[in-house]
Structures are given as C-alpha cells and as structure tokens.
Amino acid sequence: MTPSPRTSTLLAAATALALGLSSLAHAQQAPTVATPAATATALPEGVLRRDLARGVYEARYSQAANALFVASSEAAPDTKGGVIYRLDPLTLETRGQTHTDLRNFAIATDAKGETLYVTNSVERGLTAIDAVSGEVKGRLRFEDKASDGTYYGPRQVILDEASGTLYVGGVGAPGLIWVVDAATLTLRATIGDAGKWVTGLLLDPAAGRLYAANGDGEVLVIDTTTHAIQHRWTPGDGKEYLLLNLAHDPATHRLFVTDHSKGATVLVFDTRTGKVERSLPVGDSMGIALHPARKALYVTHRDQGTVSELDADSYAVRRTWTLPPNPNSLEIAPDGKALYVTVKAPFNKDYTASALESVVRIPLE
C-alpha cells in the first residue's frame, strides 16, 4: 500500500529530524538545480568532491564489487523511486546505477560486500540488492504504526553476520527496532519501548550487545540473544539531548555518541559503567567514525559545514575540512586509506533537496 501524501510528509519530516539531516528550519522555495557533475572536483590536499544527485544519504564500500555504493532518495519534484549509485572508490566516477522503485536512505553490507541492505524510510521498506549484479534480491515492508497513527520509518540498518540478523531502527514515538532474518528478509522479532525515534545502531559482537541511540537522549543496551533492553544510559546532567550516531572502541571500553541538539557535543560513555566520562566541546555533531590504526575519530558538523579529525586519545582536533553546506555520513575504506563523506543540502518546503548533494573522498595516507 502506498502511503498517503500526509503520511509521506510526516515520515519525511520525522526521518529528517531523526537523521539530523538538512535543516527544516531553513527550508526554502525550490531554486534552479545544476546538472550533476560527471567527474569529481579536485580540492586541496588530494580531496575529491563530486556533485552527484539530490537526495544523497549514506555511502558504503563493497570489497566484492570494488565500489563505493551511495544511496539516494532522488529528492526532486515529480520523481518516483531512488537510485543506488556505484562509484569508483578512487575517482568517484559513476560505474553503474540501480534504479529502485522505492527511495533509498541507509545502507549496510555483509563482510564481503556482496549484498547491500537498504532502508526505504518514507515507504517503510527494507530491500536487499546484489552488489555485483545490481539486482533486487528481496524486500520487507514494515506495517507497524506509531502512537499518532502514522507508519514508522526505517532509519539505520546494521547486520550481525554471525547470526544472520539485521537490526533496523524505527523512527516514530515510541521508537522500536525490527529484528530481521538477513537471508529471507522475514521479521523475527520487534523490540519495543525504545524511546522517541531510534536513530543510531551499533553492534558489539564480543559482548553480545546492540547499542541504540534515541531522541530521548538515551543509549539503549540490548542483549542480542534475548533482545531484551538491559540498560538505558543517559548523560545524567539534566540537559536535553537528541542522540544520533555511535562509534565504539572495544579496546578502551569507550562508546562515542553524537548529539545535534542543545548538547551539541560528542559524549564518551564507559561501556563498563554506562557513565559519561567526557563531553567533547566540538559543537553540533552528527556522523562519527573511529579509525583505530590512526587513533583518529572523525565527526561531521552539519551546522558548521565541516568534518573534523580528532586524536582518539587526547581528543585534540588534528584537522578540519570545510565541506558546506551540511556534511552528513561517514565511511572509512576497508584499507583505512580514505574517508568518504556525504554532503547534504537544505530541504525545500516540499522536502525535496534544494541543490545537488555530494560525495567527498578524503585521502588518509
């Protein structure tokens, strides 16, 4: 069943807020949009930036396909469906496209990068795509409704390869997490009472834990065997937080969580105690990725229009890249030699993208 215009609009708004993406407060009338660039623009220090499409969300590297896959909702007027772009990981040139009947948002892959698992947030779907052939292998449509009667929008998806399980966060109130069989795309279980909007997800396979961030300022600790919520960690300072994305350093028992609300920080939780040991004064924070070999923490700052590299031990800022208008998600290449960034543009009033959105490659050698 196709969502009504009202449902689609509400889902788009809720998804935008939960993702911490292009500002609704600065929504504008639709301007003239340039034609996508065929090649990337060279920036200082070997950085490449490619204006790709309207509606760019997450990027994932597939070793099996030797490609960077980018999910796009094709957020343009009178456009139905989305595209999965296959980019050359060195040049960002397009090597292929998979046109999908639903709009695409988040991506997860298996360890070899053979299968892409893509969320279709507005149309409440989860789609499996063969990374090599581009063929759609299967789909699941979620039927759960939030307390206001609207359908939940699937946001982030993460794969527990050992158990063949996909976890998908649902945007709505109260939030939920779907537990899905990765081979058959059938629903195994639903984890409810997950707070307002489930935003970020992160697995700790060694501890048998799933961490989930939410709009109530909580980090949920979930047992991956029983799917029971074991703990609800909060910053504990009485401030308002909308927690978004997570990164984990198991060697030092640190969980990094971004906030893009009044807190405007990166919180550092001790996973042994659930207590916040540091709040990093880096400003509004959204995407986050840890590079253990470089002892580096990468953070996107939407409002600042920048990406920062922090020393993962001292938290000192090593480098800052200016990538306006709204840096969004991060992906580190498997060999650790490149960082990929998606860059959003503000929404128009109808939730289409006001400009072409970009993919950036930052060399880390």
| Among the ranges given (12-16, 38-42, 43-47, 174-178), the one the predictor scored with the smallest mean pLDDT | 12-16
Position 195 in a domain: yes
Query: How many domains would you assign to the chain?
Result: 1
pLDDT at 20 over 70: no
DSSP 128-191: EEETTT--EEEEEE---B-TTSPBPEEEEEEEETTTTEEEEEEESSS-EEEEEETTT--EEEEE
pLDDT at 25 over 70: no
Of 53, 55, 83, nearest in space to 348 by CA:
55
Position 136 in a domain: yes
Position 163 in a domain: yes
H or E stretch covering 17: helix 5-19
Structure confidence at residue 62 (pLDDT): 94
The CATH number that applies at residue 152 is 2.130.10.10
Q: What is d(CA 153, CA 155) in angstroms, rounded to the nearest whole number?
A: 6
Position 124 in a domain: yes
Position 35 in a domain: no
Task: Name the residue range of residue 213's domain.
Answer: 5-23+55-363
Position 245 in a domain: yes
H or E stretch covering 331: strand 326-332
Structure confidence at residue 5 (pLDDT): 37
Average pLDDT over residues 319-331: 98
Position 337 in a domain: yes
* pLDDT tens digits, 216-262: 999 999 999 999 999 999 999 999 999 999 999 999 999 999 999 98
Position 46 in a domain: no
Q: What is d(CA 158, CA 178) in angstroms, rounded to the nearest whole number?
A: 11
Residue 126, number of CB atoms within 10 A of its CB: 25
Structure confidence at residue 33 (pLDDT): 61
Q: pTM (2 decimals)? A: 0.92
145-151 CB contacts, 8 Å cutoff, 24+ apart:
145/172, 146/172, 146/173, 146/174, 147/172, 147/173, 147/174, 148/10, 148/172, 148/173, 150/7, 150/10, 150/11, 150/14, 151/3, 151/7, 151/11, 151/124
The DSSP 8-state label assigned to residue 349 in this structure reads T
